[in-house]
Amino acid sequence: MDKKILIIDDEEDFCYFVKQNLEAISNYEIIIANKGKKGIQIARKEKPDLILLDIMMPGIDGFEVLKRLKGNEKTQRIPVIMFTAKDEDEAKIKASGLYCEDYIVKPVENVVLRAKIHRVLDLRK
Amino acid sequence: MKKKQILVVEDERIVAEDIKMRLEKLGYAVPGIAFSGEEAVKKAENMQPDLVLMDIVLEKKMSGIEAASIISSRFNIPIVYLTAYADNKTLERAKITEPFGYIIKPFEDRELHSIIEIALYKHTMERKLKKAQQELIQSEKLAALGRFSSGIAHEIKNPLGVILGGSEFLEMKLSQTDADIKTTIDKIKKSTLRANTIVEGLLKFARPSELKTERIKPNDLVNETLSLLKYRVPLRNIKVETHFAKEELYIEVDKDQMLQVFFNLLMNAIEAMPKGGKITIKTYKMAESEFSLDKYLCVIEIMDTGEGISKDNLRKLFEPFFTTKRDKKGIGLGLFMAKMIANNHKGDLVIDSKQRKGTTAKIILPLS
């Protein structure tokens, strides 16, 4: 079965290219949510195999989304890779006691993006 | 220690010679005597003495006060006045030039000695105070700039992500059909990554990360940098020589950050010698200042025999985004960051250079 990946990021163009780039080389099914709340709803409904989550978003930010995902039975086991723009975000996540599988610092090259996704999905096999 | 140089300005030759002799007896060096105000200004400029002993009343056109005023404002050399009589009017005029002391003739050696020592000490302290003030202003400015850059950097990274993602998508779709398209996309990607490097640099500077210090030997640090360097760049016809301090020195530093500083300085040295040359690295112990001989600092010196830096560029060396390597993709944050890292360790980075002779960088750190 094809893997389902949910991208939660308010930067629409960025999501568009991540989707294009991933779909071009794999059979992933990509779902996009441009808002945190919407992302959580979709995650609960669709139960994706992986979530790519941006930190800086208007409304509820990535930290809060991560907290809610990990605090809900339906979504707590879904691996999450965070998109960050700066290293200090990483420190903040660690300090918050929340857990995510990996980080990707923007802008990201395709090879890095694919490698990280593969690694996280492989670990779940 | 090097003897303090004193320029004597006195229009009576016999008196001048007598003062010279007495100063030398007290352990000072007198590189010259000036017999007029004009000569004093010229000699002060050429010799850059540590102090000028100035007769207030001089025979020729320029008075001692005028000469002193020029010397202290232009060359920042402390002045001690020498006078046989001091009417209030003259003293008032002399005061405006902010002298570091007065000696009334005739005087004893003891008086001469103590007034000169006080003046030298006062001048050193004033200079230190001024430097500290400037550093404070600078650090406040940098903090403000840091907050600003952090915000901007974050905003820029998102569109960069889109540009990179977009060009990689086009690359996948189009590059097999047309070589020109592939070249163009390559260039877009490279530029995007370069812009990202600049932004990363800004972020690094915006958030001076917390120091994770450990107690290490500077010699070990140098050796580690050298072995790292050999993996990354071919040294070709560059010889590297090390002269390590014999005694065991220790410094308390963030190793990663310090490696970055050494690496940066060594890369600069290598790039300054495209036709080859020699890099000499020394580590040694240095007294903190001439007035506190019991406090020591550790110096790591990196000297090259490269093309050197012009006086003009030397002044701008530590400014962020100043680079002479635009063509080699330098972004001008290397030395700026290196100095900041040294400063964060309560140390400093100073660079001295002579064109066509070479450059010497000194990292000065507190001993642990």
Asked whether residue B307 falls in the same domain as residue B357, the answer is yes
d(CA B206, CA B199): 10
Whether A20 sits inside 8 A of B165 (CB atoms) is: yes
Asked whether residue B82 falls in the same domain as residue B153, the answer is no
Range with lowest mean pLDDT among B16-30, B37-51, B144-158:
B144-158
B117 belongs to a structural domain:
no
Interchain contact B158–A (C-beta under 8 A): yes
Whether A20 sits inside 8 A of B169 (CB atoms) is: yes
Q: Minimal Cα distance from A56: which residue of B?
A: B154
The fraction of chain B above a pLDDT of 70, given in percent, is 94
| Token reading at B336 | 């700026």
Whether A85 sits inside 8 A of B153 (CB atoms) is: yes
CA B319 to chain centre: 12
Helical segments of chain B, H only:
13-25, 37-47, 64-75, 88-96, 109-174, 179-206, 218-232, 255-271, 311-316, 334-344
B241 belongs to a structural domain:
yes
Residue B59: what residue type? E
C-alpha triplet B63, B64, B66: angle, nearest 5°: 65
Last residue of a domain, one of B206, B232, B251: B206
Last residue of a domain, one of B178, B206, B234: B206
Whether A85 sits inside 8 A of B157 (CB atoms) is: yes
> Are residues B273 and B305 in contact, defined by beta-carbon separation less than 8 angstroms?
yes
Q: Residue B31: is its pLDDT beyond 90?
A: yes
- Across-strand partners of B29? B5
B40 belongs to a structural domain:
yes
Quick: pLDDT tens for B66-115. Answer: 999 999 889 999 999 988 766 777 778 778 878 888 888 888 999 999 99
In this complex, how many residue pairs, one in chain A and one in chain B, have their CB atoms less than 8 Å apart?
61
- Residue B276: which domain range? 213-366
Residue A43: what residue type? A
- Within 8 A of A88 by CB-CB distance, chain B residues are 207
Q: What was the pLDDT predicted at A86?
A: 66
Structure-model confidence comparison of residues B148 and B330, the more confident one: B148
- The CATH number covering residue B101 comes to 3.40.50.2300
Quick: pLDDT tens for B231-269. Answer: 777 777 889 999 999 888 999 999 988 998 998 899 899
Whether B207 sits inside 8 A of A18 (CB atoms) is: no
> Are residues B68 and B36 in contact, defined by beta-carbon separation less than 8 angstroms?
no
DSSP B334-345: HHHHHHHHHHHT
Asked whether residue B88 falls in the same domain as residue B14, the answer is yes
Q: Residue B209: is its pLDDT beyond 70?
A: no
d(CA B142, CA B150): 12
Q: What is the tally of structural domains in chain B?
A: 3
Residue B125: what residue type? M
**Quick one: which H or E segment has residue B325?**
none
Q: What was the pLDDT predicted at B301?
A: 95
- Taking an 8 Å Cβ-Cβ cutoff, which residues of chain A contact chain B? 11, 13-14, 16-18, 20-21, 24-25, 56, 85-88, 106-110
Asked whether residue B186 falls in the same domain as residue B246, the answer is no
Mean pLDDT (chain B, rounded): 86
B115 belongs to a structural domain:
no
Range with lowest mean pLDDT among A11-25, A56-70, B193-207, B351-365:
B193-207
Q: What was the pLDDT predicted at B84?
A: 78
Quick: pLDDT tens for B143-164. Answer: 777 777 777 877 888 899 999 9
- The CATH number covering residue B336 comes to 3.30.565.10
Q: Which among B173, B192, B203 has the least Cβ separation from residue A107?
A: B192
- Within 8 A of B160 by CB-CB distance, chain A residues are 106-107
- The CATH number covering residue B202 comes to 1.10.287
Instruction: Tell me which residue of B217, B263, B227 sits closest to B365, measured CA to CA.
Output: B217
Q: Minimal Cα distance from B209: which residue of A?
A: A88
What is the dihedral angle through the alpha carbons of B271, B277, B282, B288, rounded to the nearest 10 degrees? Answer: -60
Q: Minimal Cα distance from B154: which residue of A?
A: A85
Instruction: Tell me which residue of A41, A35, A101, A103 sits closest to A72, measured CA to CA.
Output: A41
How close A21 gets to chain B, by Cα (Å)? Answer: 6
- Within 8 A of A85 by CB-CB distance, chain B residues are 153-154, 157-158
- Across-strand partners of B292? B289
Whether A88 sits inside 8 A of B207 (CB atoms) is: yes
- Within 8 A of B191 by CB-CB distance, chain A residues are none
d(CA A19, CA A7): 8
B118 belongs to a structural domain:
no
User: Confidence band (pLDDT; 50, 70, 90) for B290?
Assistant: low
Asked whether residue B179 falls in the same domain as residue B318, the answer is no
Q: Minimal Cα distance from A20: which residue of B?
A: B169
- Across-strand partners of B173? none
C-alpha triplet A66, B147, A58: angle, nearest 5°: 35
Cross-sheet strand order for the sheet of A29-33? A29-33, A4-8, A50-54, A80-84, A102-105
Q: Residue A45: is its pLDDT beyond 90?
A: yes
- Within 8 A of B192 by CB-CB distance, chain A residues are 107
Asked whether residue B193 falls in the same domain as residue B224, the answer is no
Asked whether residue B352 falls in the same domain as residue B236, the answer is yes
- Within 8 A of B207 by CB-CB distance, chain A residues are 86, 88
B36 belongs to a structural domain:
yes
B229 belongs to a structural domain:
yes
Asked whether residue B96 falls in the same domain as residue B32, the answer is yes
Residue range B120-143: average pLDDT? 82
Asked whether residue B223 falls in the same domain as residue B335, the answer is yes
d(CA A13, CA B69): 66
Q: Which residue of B156, B169, B174 to mutate against A (max A Cβ within 10 Å)?
A: B169
Structure-model confidence comparison of residues A52 and B286, the more confident one: A52
Q: What was the pLDDT predicted at A70?
A: 92
Q: How far apart are the first and last CA of chain B?
A: 24
Whether A17 sits inside 8 A of B157 (CB atoms) is: no
Predicted complex: ipTM over 0.90: no
| Token reading at B102 | 């007065």
Interchain contact B212–A (C-beta under 8 A): no
d(CA A123, CA B11): 90
User: Confidence band (pLDDT; 50, 70, 90) for B206?
Assistant: low
Ramachandran sector of residue B164 (left: φ over 0; alpha: ψ -120 to 50; beta: rest) = alpha
Asked whether residue B200 falls in the same domain as residue B292, the answer is no
Last residue of a domain, one of B206, B240, B267: B206
Q: Which among B154, B164, B169 has the least Cβ separation from residue A86?
A: B154
Dihedral angle sign, alpha carbons of residues B149, B154, B158, B160: positive
Asked whether residue B316 falls in the same domain as residue B226, the answer is yes
Quick: pLDDT tens for B98-109. Answer: 888 888 888 899
Q: What was the pLDDT predicted at B218?
A: 93
How close A23 gets to chain B, by Cα (Å)? Answer: 10
d(CA B267, CA B262): 8
Please give the model's pTM, rounded to 2 decimal places: 0.54
Asked whether residue B177 falls in the same domain as residue B246, the answer is no
Question: What structural domains does chain A harbor?
Answer: 4-123 (3.40.50.2300)
> Are residues A62 and A28 in contact, defined by beta-carbon separation less than 8 angstroms?
no
Q: What was the pLDDT predicted at B197?
A: 82
How close A117 gets to chain B, by Cα (Å)? Answer: 16
Q: Residue A6: is its pLDDT beyond 90?
A: yes
Q: What are phi and psi of B182, to 5 degrees?
A: -60, -45
Q: Minimal Cα distance from B201: which residue of A?
A: A86
Q: Which among A16, A21, A87 has the least Cβ separation from residue B168?
A: A21
Whether A107 sits inside 8 A of B157 (CB atoms) is: yes
B122 belongs to a structural domain:
no
CA–CA distances in Å: residue B41 to residues B73, B93, B229: 11, 18, 49
Q: Minimal Cα distance from B195: which residue of A?
A: A107
C-alpha triplet B326, B327, B333: angle, nearest 5°: 30
- Residue B106 has a CB neighbour count (10 Å cut-off) of 8
Whether A106 sits inside 8 A of B157 (CB atoms) is: yes
Whether B164 sits inside 8 A of A25 (CB atoms) is: no
